[in-house]
Amino acid sequence: MSTEPSIFSRIIAREIPADIVFENDAVIAFRDIAPKAPVHILVVPKTQAFANVSELAAGDPALLATVVATAQAVADEYCDGEFRLVFNTGPSAGQTVFHVHAHVLGGTLSEGSLGQ
């Protein structure tokens, strides 16, 4: 893991602006700057200790449960509770920031927008 702060850590520290829709002591949720759906919100743990969802599940399952519960709350507010929850793990799977995060995707998704 890099010792440099991730872009998400910099958002958490308010060094980079973001459209924040939810925040508590454990997680922050904000709109993706390159949305792949009408609703595309990232749910990010405030710790940079885990690069991907597998590491988070093994290292802090309670925090993973908080991420999922936050995703549901965000979806309830922004897309009537109907959503896809996507975790990309590894560069070939589309992960570009190695600070675990969940993509909440909702609204009317186009055919094939993220596979089935």
Contacts of 14 (CB under 8 A, 6+ apart): none
Q: Residue 39 in contact with residue 51, Cβ under 8 Å?
A: no
40, 99, 101, 103: the active-site residue: 101
Contacts of 12 (CB under 8 A, 6+ apart): 28, 44, 46
Catalytic-residue membership of 99: no
Contacts of 34 (CB under 8 A, 6+ apart): none
**Tokens coding 101:** 């995060």
**Tokens coding 114:** 């993220």
Catalytic residues, by residue number, are 101
